[in-house]
Chains A and B, each alone.
Chain A
Amino acid sequence: MEVAVIVAVVVVLAVLVLGTVLIQRRRRAGGVISVETRPRARERRGTGRRT
């Protein structure tokens, strides 16, 4: 009985550790992100309508 409890605790802890490692790896995973750039303040000054 005691052995079964210990095994169960070890298994639960192992699952928690494994889950934490996988979640952390996913959170830290990098990539290459493409973004749409918006006009900068300096550029906007020169884009007024011409009359």
Chain B
Amino acid sequence: MSPRQLLLRASDLIGRPLVTIDEGEDVAEVKDVVYGTADAAVLGFTLNRRGFLGGPMREVVAWSDVAAVGRHAVMIADAGAITADGDLLQDVRASRRRNVLGSDVITDAGQRLGKVTDVVVLVDERPEVVGYEITGGEGLKPGGSGRVFVPLPDTLAVSGEALMVPAAVSDFVTDDLAGFGAAVQRFRQHLRTTS
């Protein structure tokens, strides 16, 4: 992992304010993190209005319009980055809007690993979903907390209501987010050498 890359939980992004660089205005907040099932690329965010009484917005912001993801805010150049048009909104409307949180993870050998409690995002020039945080995994090794991080391959397989991962993943599970980037790289290298 290069120094410019950053591993984040998706839940760290949810609720973060969206701030414009030109006026420093707090224009919305992140509601959902949206990613593509084909290549796990993070596509953008759906939004809530600011404030407790602010409900969901029909507009979205595409990742290509995000200037930076900071510790306390997601930065966009100006309010024009929030759009009610464009490919992301069409994809969100056309899809089943499946919320991954709470979904079961099973291996391609048929073993149920647990339920997704969070998603790990590698923030980079091309951000992608690189892992799931799951609980309830009975056959997984690390951790006394019952919460582990499961790395994902470059391409995702989605099967009905469950999320599918290769059976070899159980050797690369970790309970430490700091070392998770290395686990993802080892896992993907393993898949390349064995395929």
A32 B91 Cβ-Cβ under 8 A: no
A51 within 8 A of B: no
Size category of the B interface is 35 or more
Question: Chain A residues with Cβ under 8 A from B46's Cβ?
Answer: 30, 33
A33 B34 Cβ-Cβ under 8 A: yes
A47 within 8 A of B: no
Chain A contact residue count (CB 8 A cutoff)? 13
CB distance from B110 to the nearest CB of A (A): 22
A32 CA to B115 CA, complexed, in Å: 14
B99 A32 Cβ-Cβ under 8 A: yes
Whose C-beta in chain B lies nearest to the C-beta of A23?
B55
A37 CA to B101 CA, complexed, in Å: 19
B43 within 8 A of A: yes
Question: Chain A residues with Cβ under 8 A from B14's Cβ?
Answer: 30-31
A30 CA to B118 CA, complexed, in Å: 12
A36 B99 Cβ-Cβ under 8 A: no
10 contacts between A and B (CB under 8 A): A28-B48, A30-B32, A31-B14, A33-B34, A33-B95, A33-B97, A34-B100, A36-B36, A37-B43, A38-B87
| Chain B interfacial positions (CB closer than 8 Å to A) | 10, 14-15, 30-38, 43, 46, 48, 52-56, 87, 90-92, 94-95, 97-101, 118-119, 129, 158
| Chain A interfacial positions (CB closer than 8 Å to B) | 24, 27-28, 30-38, 40
Top 5 closest A-B pairs, CB basis? A30-B14, A35-B95, A31-B99, A37-B36, A32-B119
